[in-house]
Every structure is written in structure tokens, then in C-alpha cells.
Amino acid sequence: MILEGNTRAHGQELAHHLMNLANNDHVRLHGLDGFVADDLFGALAGTEAISQATQCRKYLFSLSLNPPTDASVPVEVFEDTVARVEKTLGLTGQPHAVFSTKRTGGGMPIACGRRSTRAC
């Protein structure tokens, strides 16, 4: 499995990109944990507001998990991978969202979480 992670800003742009059904055949939100809002747009808007108060520029960490195209990977493997990455990067306990996108020819689970203000 190929993991691609990066720090980023512009949470609303990310939410629009990920939830865009013009680019994705299917989008599924698996979990939204630790945010005040109960939807992805609201969660990332709240995270952006916190970043402005703390002057954190790249306040999000996004992780794309890309399994081989011929592999059938159980959801539990993705959940375990997200948990291990969070622990390794010191993001355990930070609010996060986990969702998957499906496009013709493949799909990918994606996790996005708020970075600790200490890390900014």
C-alpha cells in the first residue's frame, strides 16, 4: 500500500475537492471524530478558525492510502494504518475525518486531521 501524506491549509477547498461528485463516482464518510461540527465542511471550517487564532498556517494533515489496484483490502486494515500513522506523527487525540472516494479505475481511503497547535 502506498501512503501519501502532507500538511496543508485551505480546509474548505479540500472538503469541496473530496466531496465533489463530478470527480468521484462515490464518496463515503466513515467517521468524523473530535470536531464540533458533524459534517466535513463544518469540521474543516472550525479547524480553519482555530488555525487563525493560533497563527498556524498548515493546520491539516491529509493522508491518502492507495492499495494496489488488484487488492481487496478490508476496512480494518485502513483503520489500523490510520491509527499507526497518527501515533507515529503524534496526532493521536487530534480531531480527524476518515472517508473514501471511488473513481472509475480505483478509489482510495483518505484521512484528514487537525495538527496540534504545538506542531505549527
* In the chain, domain spans: 2-119
What single letter denotes the amino acid at residue 27?
V
Full DSSP string of 5-34: EEEE--HHHHHHHHT-TTT-SEEEEEEEES
Other beta carbons within 10 angstroms of residue 65's beta carbon come to 21
Nearest Cα neighbor of 99 from 91, 90, 108 is 108
Whole-structure pTM value: 0.76
Sign of the Cα torsion 49, 83, 102, 106 reads: positive
Each residue of 7-27: pLDDT tens digit? 888 888 888 887 877 777 777
- pLDDT exceeds cutoff 60 at 105: no
Each residue of 57-102: pLDDT tens digit? 888 888 888 888 788 888 788 888 888 988 998 888 888 888 877 7
